[in-house]
Structure 1
Amino acid sequence: MIISTKTKLTGLLGYPLGHSMSPVMQNAAFEYCSMNRIYIPVEVKPENLETVVRGISKMNFDGFNVTIPHKIEIMKYLDETDEYARCIGAVNTVKIKDGRLKGYNTDGIGFLRSFEENTGDRIEGKSVFVLGSGGASRAVSMTLALNKAKKMYICNRTFDKASSLADDIKRQTGIRCEAVSFDPEEIKKALQDTDVLINTTSVGMSPNMEESPLDKSLLDKRLTVCDIVYNPRKTRLLKDAEEKGCRIVEGLPMLVYQGAEAFEVWTDVKAPADVMFEAVEDF
């Protein structure tokens, strides 16, 4: 592809981004669909987010993704958000049209599709324990609540953040949702009433691949254990869970499915998900 003034730009805003597979995945999809577009990583420290977003809106960008740590903060700088993103309270995909920025959230949908396709099961009627209360947690938790999870637990090192998210989920969906302090005994008690455990934090991400958000002793073979971290493919948490006999779900399918949803937001074309999978698996 020859890059010119007609080449549309999309990208990823976050910090740090050395681990990200999104550029290889999205560029493979653009190439397959013969689109004159490129996707670039843009590392942005929190103090520079507003300046970068204002600049991008004046350039040849027609959209971008947002990742850690900007998924909640980005909402301050958008002209509009769709109803689903407003419900979640976090944005991971932005479309730019006529200079206006509209926010969407594809994380929760990506996770749900990954869970159902990899387990052959549905989230409806399940008790779910979520580690983390940031932007990814908000998307995943709210989506599962809206899809009729029976009960939810939100656990975070900062209890007030877990409590705030739990209250939001209860208020907007009506399901039972409790905040859990980051205390081994409290976690153990909640996990006894849990079917699905999900790590939405960055703990275990490359280069800190031997870290786990939970001690192995807290895991039980009854659990389905999911991690949204995709680099490495199998995190320390998932390795520990597998050794305990748990069913596991890796983070890579969520990455692809949320990316496919974002692709469709920007292009109004069905995403070639199989091409995107192939790209990241070869990365």
Structure 2
Amino acid sequence: MSQYIGRFAPSPSGRLHFGSLVAALGSYAVAKINDGKILLRIEDLDFFRCKKEYTRIILKELEEFGFYFDGEPYIQSEHTDVYYKVAKKLVTEGKAFYCNCTRSYLKTNTCQCLQKGLKEDSEDNLALRFIIPKVHQDFFEDEIYGQMSFPVPQESLTLIRRDKVISYNLACVVDDINQGITQVVRGSDLIDITTTQMCLYKALDADYISYLHLPLAMADETYKLSKQNHSPAVLDQGTPSEMLIKALNFLNQDIDGLSSEMSPKTILDKALERFEIKRIPVGKKVIA
């Protein structure tokens, strides 16, 4: 059996919020209890939203929480050539095509660019889109939820936007393959894109991996805790030790005997001794 390799992959569009901490804790703990590796990836390809200063802050805050990752952080923006190479390979194999449709056009119309046969050098502002295969797998096994089914709704998927931003789906799948990730542990807000990403795995001749989707930390019944919703920074709400215990409690773990007077490392070490996946709440949304 191959070694377990997991990852935590924050986007530096702001400081860590409570939902980020839950994802970091969940991915870290599951890797550790499987005697595996846990990698840190900074997903900073959206240069409109991501800032290098937030990368530095996130690295510092993760250290304050006592998380120690295997190897150096992988910074996506330092490896854009990897994603362009894969994208061009998909075009060469007839699995992707260039597109000049705008987002607003695609909201009400079907893209016809595949039939046009646009070339890369015909315009400066072409997007690149992946062709969803007619036959693909619409289900997967989640370690918490069991078998989940999500039909892939679109006929094609953006790989590189017209503004040259490399898409999350392309970079995520390419990195998970290249880094040998064996299981993705992430928030349930991303559960419905799993089958779409599996189409890319197949197109790249890679084996499917396993998934574990954590409950989504919600501010209330409507809004998830996220940077886009201007959620407060987690370390503005309490000390690292206090917020670690809160995150463990959110994941329904045994926090008996844990105290905010303990160091974050001590709390993590004690929590890992009794962390149980089966205790994680089976619910896509939980109010924090």
TM-score clears 0.5:
no
Q: Which has the larger radius of gyration?
A: 2
* TM-score normalised according to structure 2 size: 0.29
* TM-score normalised according to structure 1 size: 0.29
